Amino acid sequence: MAMQKTIEVVIRLVEKRVIGNYAIAGAVAALNYIQPALTEDLDILISVGDFERRPSGLLLLGPIEKALADMGYMERTDVGYRIEGWPVQFLPAASPLEEEALNQAIEIDVADAGRSPLMARCLTAEHVVAIALNVGRFKDLLRIQDFLEQGVVDLKRLKNVLERHDLTGKWAAFCVKAEIENPL
């Protein structure tokens, strides 16, 4: 049960060309910027092209499912495929914001210190915040507060992302709810 190994399997899927563009998203992406917090699963944002598309428009994970089965990962949980003990959700980029987040993802080293680097793609802090704002659950808003408190967001870049994706109204509402002065 090691998240590091789970991410290694995702990297192997990329090496096998089962997945093209991808990025670690959600709570594990947030981990790159703020303190660790408990999560149930690993979210992997991938491009729609990596899904099998049915004529009805339905998106299926056929190729990914098959590759995982070939690698010995056949168990499914209610929140995704179980890989090295962790449920993994492969999420298609479902909006222009998520598409942009995917394309602008950064490379991070997930290997232990002193070992050869193992690079994985991860969402930028600004996109983690923008997506959290857009989803808007209580835990997402708390995450935004952590990002702001720890000063890990480039506010100018965040402002641009929010403006591009029409999220400034939601941002203003968040500031009111969080009882903070709008830092943008």
SS3 154: coil
User: Up-side HSE of residue 53: CA atoms within 13 Å toward CB?
Assistant: 7
Residues of span 106-165 touching other proteins by CB under 8 A = 108-113, 146, 149-150, 152
* Per-residue contact string for residues 33-72; x = within reach of other proteins by CB under 8 A: xxxxxxx---------------------------------
Closer Cβ to other proteins, 71 or 118, answer by number: 118
Give CA–CA dist 93/90, Å, rounded. 10
CB atoms within 10 A of CB 175: 16
Cβ 179 to other proteins shortest distance, Å: 16
Residue 79 found at the interface with other proteins (CB under 8 A): no
CA distances from 85 to 7, 45, 75, 81, 154 (A): 11, 19, 10, 9, 34
Residue 83 found at the interface with other proteins (CB under 8 A): no
Helices (H), the chain: 3-15, 26-30, 62-70, 96-103, 125-135, 138-149, 155-164, 168-178
Which position among 1, 56, 72, 138 is part of the footprint of other proteins (CB under 8 A)? 1
Kindly indicate which of the ranges 44-52, 103-111, 124-132, 164-172 contains the residues binding other proteins, using the contact rule CB under 8 A. 103-111
Binding site for other proteins (CB under 8 A): 1-4, 7, 28, 31-39, 108-113, 146, 149-150, 152
